[in-house]
Amino acid sequence: MDWQSDANAVKAAFAPTLEGWYERHRRDLPWRHTRDPYRIWLSEVILQQTRVAQGRPYYERFVEAYPTVTDLALADERELLRLWQGLGYYSRARNLHQTARYITEQLNAEFPATFDGLLSLKGIGVYTAAAVASFAFGERVPVVDGNVYRVLARVFGITEDITTTGAKKTFAKLASELIQPASDPATYNQAIMEFGAIQCTPVSPDCLLCPLQQSCNAYQTGRQQRLPVKAKKEPVRNRYFNYLVLRQNGKLVMRERTARDIWQNLYDFWLVETDEPITALTDLNLPDELAKLVQQGRLTGNPVPLTQLLSHQRIRGQFFLIDLPDTVSMPLPTGFGQYSMDEINQLPKPVLVTTYLNEWLG
């Protein structure tokens, strides 16, 4: 088929083609074996900004720990964040918890059964509402995520920047048209996302064995690598975290991060952030209370450099282990405490801190 000859025919064949492809190629994933809106919602939140291979064990752990939305609502936030540890974007976990409480307390633990009802819940956006509405309740509403943007942009030759409001409307309108001929909206939505994930991939899409090859604008014009169009991301900001790891009697000094910054409600060590990298402990301008403790202690080993890349920030960490004699009194500022390793294992922590603990103090 010449992709220019009959756009309506391409649209009409699009859903049946993808549904047929999906029946042959879909991966066996646990959230595809349920119509429970809670478990579907949980999987979608976990998989935001997360690859399936990484997200699956988190989903399984959460389902085991919190099998129902009521169980999640009653969860201790610290334990919830500890289970979430490593997924990043911790606001997702906090919103998950708040929404579970609302559904349990205000809606009698029953999820709204429509797209509009789901969209009214805190922390549930257009994509997640569409996913739950179609997968759990069979509503004919399309999902539009990164995979869908890529498939539609390539097949239909859409050159609008997908980060713009106008483009979002263009794709939403097209997606709504394409789902209409689908035999089952849930299957179709799973199919188009799966197709983008394993067939029409960002790099090196499998065009040779693609069932949409002859109707694909990008394939016919050689533009697979140029579509979809997306504005360049903001440059990654470097931040320099210098951690003073105070150890006494086998216990470490830690605090909960309460400020509105990365890693809110997670635990880390005494932090001195600098604008530039430093090479020695003496380069740090320490607050008086910390300087006094450091003077009474001993620097053990060399500083340990570790880096964690976030979405728009690169955290360059440096860990200085300071061993303090048993005789040293350690008055700590509000929010700090001394924790044993067993206690630390139960605390939610950033990946950077967990890596240090496991690889250098484990």
Q: Which residues are catalytic?
A: 44
Peptide bond preceding 185: is omega within 30 degrees of 0, i.e. cis? no
Distance in Å from the first CA to the final CA of the chain: 61
CA atoms of 68 and 48, how far apart (whole Å): 20
Contacts of 320 (CB under 8 A, 6+ apart): 242, 243, 244, 245, 281, 299, 303
Are the C-beta atoms of residues 305 and 316 closer than 8 Å to each other?
yes
> Contacts by 103-109 with C-beta closer than 8 Å and gap 24+?
103/69, 103/73, 104/69, 104/70, 104/73, 104/74, 105/73, 109/68, 109/69, 109/70, 109/73
DSSP 8-state symbol, 213: G
Q: How far does Cα 18 stand from its chain's mean position?
A: 27
- Reading the block at residue 122, the tokens are 């805190």
Q: How far apart are CA 150 and CA 141, in angstroms?
A: 19
Cα 192–chain centre separation: 20
The tokens for 339 are 């924790």
CB 134 within 8 A of CB 186: yes
